[in-house]
Structure 1
Amino acid sequence: MARFAIGERDFLLDGEPHRVLAGALHYFRVHPDQWADRIEKARRMGLNAIETYVAWNAHEPVRGSFATDGALDLDRFLRLIGEAGMHAIVRPGPYICAEWDSGGLPAWLFRRPGIRLRSAEPGWLAEIDAYLDHVLPIVAPLQIDRGGPVILLQVENEYGAYGDDTAYLEHLVRRYRGGGITVPLTTVDQPTDDMLERGRVDGALLTGSFGSRVPERLATLRQHQPTGPLMCSEFWDGWFDHWGEHHHTTSAEDAAASLDELLAAGASVSIYMFHGGTDFGFTNGANHKGAYKSHVTSYDYDAPLDETGWATPKFRAFRDVIRRYAPVPEEDVPTAPAAPALTAAFDRTVALSAVADRLGEELGPFDAPPAFDDVEHPRGFGIYAAPLDGRSGVLVVGAVRDRAQVLVDGVPVGVLERDRHDHALRIPAGRRLELLVEDRGRVNYGDRLGEPKGLLGPVTLDGLPVTGWTVRPLRLDRLTAADLGDAAGTDAGAAFSIASFDLDAPADLHLDTTHWGKGVAWVNGFHLGRYWARGPQHTLFVPGTQLVAGTNELVVLELHGFRDPAVRFVPRPLLGQVEE
């Protein structure tokens, strides 16, 4: 068996100096039938390792039920890396950030009484120990000294930007070692004096996260760690997008020049991201730095391999740099071919109100609206309702997390948006008040981790409390036309539209949402994610591995109405305008 260790100045593979050339590829953001393809393309760029986070909330959305099959088969993903002749770096968190919903922390965790996130508080430690009881038995047998690909494991994630509880980090180190982890441990922080010191722990190598000013950042890292290999374990080569902003890109030439500086200094690297993938379903996260901003569905990240798995100019620029320092395979990776272009028409529309009872149980009554978290609804949509008894006036809510379509007697009367700081809306007289509330993604960074979602009280109408609430959490993680039954017709509110389209053979597609409003879509039951006319993103990636030769089904939940109801699949992704 091979051995991987930390030397005086280098990583050591069987006693010989070894440079880690890794790239980030998150298994939970890529269709599992496309894992091997993306891993092979990393090898062809000259990388010798794949790095991945582990998303706790993807594996355990319900406490006590830890899934490891299908798209969550971490064991299979790591074995595929080994079969490609590459090494693996595992970052189990438990907090991962990653622009992922709640930074990977499950929603049920925040309901635990007295819990203090990312600290040595006993309740938190008990929960993460239980989580690691699932993860470490997968990772430990696949370490390099047992014949597997895993060479490094990261302790926490950018902890120096959050806290300074050394006892917590020390607990993690003991837990990893006690759980059979024998490979070197690392931490990662931005290379500033305070973050490196707050995030360090005995027994783990300091590494940095940055994408520019390489000599300065490496010098700071070396000041805090006089010996051991230098490593940038998050080399930022792109960026993420929020709804309502431009599509972020970075210069391939500038990024390649910084990578060249890094490798010329003898450092190891993990490129974040090598391939970003997609936040399918309701898995995108959000930021809140004075204003709430949720991330788009695409996690293209302007990475060397684009969202659909094809080489970009950055791929070729990085490969040319890597070739100066390490062997690079001769096999090429082509740029993206044009995807099939086709059109279809919706052949049935179903009002959400007509099938809501098929999609979730109505709970209540409650004196005040419960948060999604109070009814164990981790993410997505819920319908809140209360009697109006003929009243009208100004409706005032404590907070909407994160968007509410307001209806009176089934007729939409307005929208309350968190990112616009909306709290009030004048409503007409009616019998029944409804709010279709959307959790647009939980904050994944900073001190708002764990905040509740849904409709938060108090709720008043002309200053008087609104009571007698019910809430219906909607189960929408997977949806087909069969789930909607035989209902048809629509009203003025949100509605499902159903179409079919034929393919000669499965192929990756780009669903054009340019002329739609706001909603979510499913193909053959698979949740593609959110779309919004606000942009910048105007296509949804459809993995060909989710399609079949012959007839395929599309279901769309449109919240407001189509400007043009045609179904179009276009040859190229439309990720939005870039900043000039």
Structure 2
Amino acid sequence: LSIFLLPSFPFPCRSNWSYLNPLTLKKRSEGLVGRCAHFTLEGHKFLIFGGSIHYFRMPREYWRDRLLKLKACGFNTVTTYIPWNLHEPERGQFYFSGNLDMEAFVLLAAKIGLWVILRPGPYICAEVDLGGLPSWLLQDPNMKLRTTDKGFVEAVDKYFDHLIPRVIPLQYHRGGPVIAVQVENEYGSFNKDKDYMSYVKEALLKRGIVELLLTSDNEKEIEQGSVEGGTNLELFQDLVFALVFEQTVSELINREISFNAYMFHGGTNFGFINGAVYFGMHRGVVTSYDYDAVLTEAGDYTEKYFKLRELFASISEKPLPLSPQHTLKTVYPSVRPSHFLPLWEVLQYLNEPVKSHIPVNMENLPINNGSGQSFGFVLYETSICSGGRLHAEVHDIGQVFLNYTILGVLNEKVQDLFIPNFTVCSSRIQVILCFYSLYCLPSAGLIGPVKINNVSLEGFTIYSLEMKMSFFQRLRSANWRPVSVRYLGPAFYLGTLKAGSFPRDTFLRLPGWVSGFVFINGHNLGRYWNIGPQETLYLPGVWLHPGDNEIILFEKISSGSHIYSTGLPKL
């Protein structure tokens, strides 16, 4: 829960503006302003009842449902981050369509009657990879992220030159719903450059942002992350239990304090976007971003929702809109994969591998128009002529194979493995790097030389496994093997999910499978891992076709026998 802390004064309160549609408010002269201890809008005291929804964490087809539920609950504002790494995955290549159509999301919120607070970063955290910064920034080994370092500033300027013109017509003073824009995110906990926040603020202002500027930090670091002329917000989180949540929100309303529920709807870390945390060791964030939010990962109502709606209804001048109907779930027949392909037989369907004298980490691979690799897996392969002690520094998790037979696993803590002696000098060693996040670490992949008995290996062939939609299109022409016995090792498994005439949402359960990713008709549902805590993956019905649907699992270790559908998540 984010708290907007600003002492009461005698303006007529219009905190119930949640029933007004921002697009119909024609006479606009003064936008959101922080005065004393309250916000005002058009000179009237205004309480922000905000809820966070990330447009990039759900299919576009579900935006309307989630926003309608926010409005029907009694909230008047939606807040969202803008992830730089998704909008500019390659240097100079911008994407603002489909699930990344930020403008369409904001305009839809306006039509539903919601104000909008945008949080464009450039760093957003949000538990996404590298906090939303694009990984190609790391190609400059001297670059200091989130500072006024020349290289970083130049990259931010080019991004803002493209992003901010899209935001300008969405602002309140231009007839749009955007009433505030956040400067960076929680910089007080980083705070490595006293000039940086001023730079970001000016970068927004000089490109045409005229609405109220906000910063966001926790109680202890709010001063370090503040910016002159902005309104600085205090963060409180982890109000888990519905009763405590209701009591806290009720007290905030009684004290006329604005707030934002992070998250109102968390959604899902589809694909490879989830970030990581560091507790003595790098740990990837789970696929679900349910966040114990007001709505579940699949957009279902919770006890928190009904308690909040009852609370908001008690202070609203007009009846709240009817809540949308519950999203129906279904249970599909189980899927038994019929065919599989060991990873080693898939390499021919990848893009041309990189030949390199030494290992190259992911972001420095000469692919994607020079922007490197941001997500997925990397396979490093070379020849060796002797056994002994293998040493390699890896970021994330690396599986080591000798002639396609697993030898062991490397990670941040384990950097050595014993290679058994052999007589054939043409033996091949393979290292598969499973990339979980750049959230904490400066690079991904193999960092530095790979050595056997302190002698550096050379002559690497490097395969990039980004697992984009185009890869799965090529894979359809492969000569798949029938599944007969359980296969040990990394492989792709192909099956058919029968969705009937009217596909609906469901959850997938994978008992017996160990660790990997699920793809439905080319859509990456995210990572599964039998260590838990998450045991199901959310499958949006809008990604299914009536009838047969292609389901492919990339399993890293050992296959199960079936993929099950269930109507309830287990997180």
Same fold, judged at TM 0.5 (above)? yes
* Alignment partner of 1:201 out of 216, 222, 227: 227
Structure 2 counterpart of 1:520: 517
Q: Note the 1:153-552 alignment, pairs <5 A.
A: 153-163=181-191, 165-192=193-220, 195-211=221-237, 236-237=238-239, 250-326=240-316, 329-332=320-323, 337-366=328-357, 368-375=358-365, 376-389=372-385, 391-397=386-392, 399-418=393-412, 421-428=413-420, 429=422, 431-443=427-439, 448=440, 451-478=442-469, 479-480=471-472, 482-489=474-481, 492-503=488-499, 504-552=501-549
Match of 2:15 in 1: none
Q: Distance in 1 between matches of 2:313 and 2:419?
A: 65
Q: CA deviation at 1:106?
A: 0.3
Structure 1 counterpart of 2:410, one-letter code:
L
Deviation at 1:178, TM superposition (A): 1.4
Shift of 1:291: 1.4
- Rounded to whole Å, the distance in 2 between the matches of 1:302 and 1:403 is 28
Cα RMSD for the two superposed structures: 1.8
Match among 545, 565, 568 for residue 569 of structure 1: 565
- Greater shift in the superposed pair: 173-182 or 476-485: 476-485
**1:182 Cα deviation after fit:** 1.2
Partner-residue secondary structure (3-state), 1:160 = helix
SS at match of 1:189: strand
Q: Do 2:329 and 2:506's aligned partners in 1 also have CA atoms closer than 8 Å?
A: no
Are the equivalent residues in 1 in contact too, given 2:191–2:224 (CA < 8 A)?
yes
Residue number among 6, 11, 16 corresponding to 2:39 in the alignment: 11
The residue type equivalent to 1:10 in the other structure is: H
1:311/1:336 contact within 8 Å kept:
no
The residue type equivalent to 2:480 in the other structure is A
> Could you report, residue by residue, the CA deviation over 1:447-480 in whole angstroms, capped at 9, with x for unpaired residues?
x46x010012332223322222221111313353
Secondary structure of 1:262's counterpart equals helix
| C-alpha contact 2:71 2:321 (8 A) present in aligned 1 | no
Counterpart of 1:40 in structure 2 is 68
Structure 1 contact 342–570 (Cα < 8 Å) conserved: no
* Paired AA for residue 356 in structure 2: P
Answer whether contact 1:403 1:438 (CA < 8 A) is retained: yes
Separation in 1 of the partners of 2:323 and 2:488? 52
Counterpart of 2:83, as a letter, is A
Question: What is aligned with 2:22?
Answer: none
Report the CA distance between 1:330 and its aligned residue. 4.8
Deviation at 1:335, TM superposition (A): 5.8
Q: How far off its partner does 1:296 sit?
A: 0.6
| 5+ residue gaps, structure 1 | 212-235, 238-249, 576-580
Cα distance between partner residues in 1 of 2:70 and 2:266:
12
Q: Give the structure 1 partner of residue 369 of structure 2.
A: none
Which residue of 1 is the match for residue 11 of structure 2? none
Q: Any gaps of 5 or more consecutive residues in structure 2?
A: 1-25, 366-371
Work out the CA distance in 1 between the residues paired with 2:332 and 2:466. Answer: 31
Q: What percentage of aligned pairs have identical amino acids?
A: 33
Task: Name the SS of the counterpart of 1:516 in structure 2.
Answer: coil
Mapped partners of 1:360, 1:395: distance in 2 = 28
Q: Take 1:472 and 1:163, find their aligned partners in 2: how far apart are those partners?
A: 38
Structure 1 pair 482–379 and aligned structure 2 pair: CA distance change class (3 A): closer
Q: Does the CA contact (< 8 Å) of 1:363 and 1:470 recur in 2?
A: yes
Distance 1:332 1:386 in 2: 59
Distance, in Å, in 2 between the alignment partners of 1:551 and 1:488 is 18
Q: Structure 1 residue 322: deviation in Å?
A: 2.8
Any idea what SS the aligned residue of 2:67 has?
helix
Q: Take 2:476 and 2:119, find their aligned partners in 1: how far apart are those partners? A: 40
Q: Please give the secondary structure, in 1, of the residue aligned with 2:224.
A: helix
Q: 1:410 to 1:484 in 2, by over 3 A?
A: farther
Shift of 1:400: 1.5
Supply the distance in 2 between the matched residues of 1:161 and 1:530 (Cα, whole angstroms): 29
State the TM-score, normalizing by the size of structure 2.
0.89
1:113, distance to aligned residue in structure 2 (A): 5.3
